[in-house]
Amino acid sequence: MSKVAVLSGTVAGNLPSAGNEGQGDRLVILETKYDGLKDQLSMQSAANDRLEIILACFGILVTIIIIYFAFKTEKSAIQAATTAAKDELLISRNEIDEILKSARLAEEKMSNALLEIEGHKQVAASDVRTIRANRDQVVQLPKTNGKDRE
């Protein structure tokens, strides 16, 4: 006799009388309930295992997405820093070019001033030679004590 047949025989008011036969039927019912609960527990365990696998896959997917965006952000940050550095170098280069231009202009002005001074020096040297050559012809002025010069 199968467990299902025993179960169906005890249901619907057909309960056996108290005795050895009743205890055997109860044992079969308890075993059947135990087997059902065991099957239900194994199904829940399998469902939990599937859920754990799904959650693990989801966690791996989120990790991969985070790593992707981290690398993408890193590349963007490196590119932005490189662009900023190039811009700063260009600005610095332009400033240095302006400083060099002004330095060259100052050098040219000083060169011209030096040439002008050199020209005045030659004129002064020529005048000194002329004065020394014509020293005899220069009339000496009388010496005064400084009261006549007002």
Q: What is the pLDDT of residues 102-128, one digit of tens each?
A: 999 999 999 999 999 999 999 999 988
| pTM attached to this predicted model | 0.41
Distance of CA 26 to the CA centre of its chain: 73
pLDDT, tens digit, 9 for 90 and up, residues 69-94: 998 898 889 999 999 999 999 999 99
Longest dimension (CA), the chain: 171
C-alpha dihedral sign at 109, 110, 116, 119: negative
25 in Cβ contact with 6 (< 8 Å): yes
Radius of gyration of the chain (CA): 58
DSSP 8-state class, residue 137: G
Q: Is residue 37 predicted with pLDDT exceeding 70?
A: yes
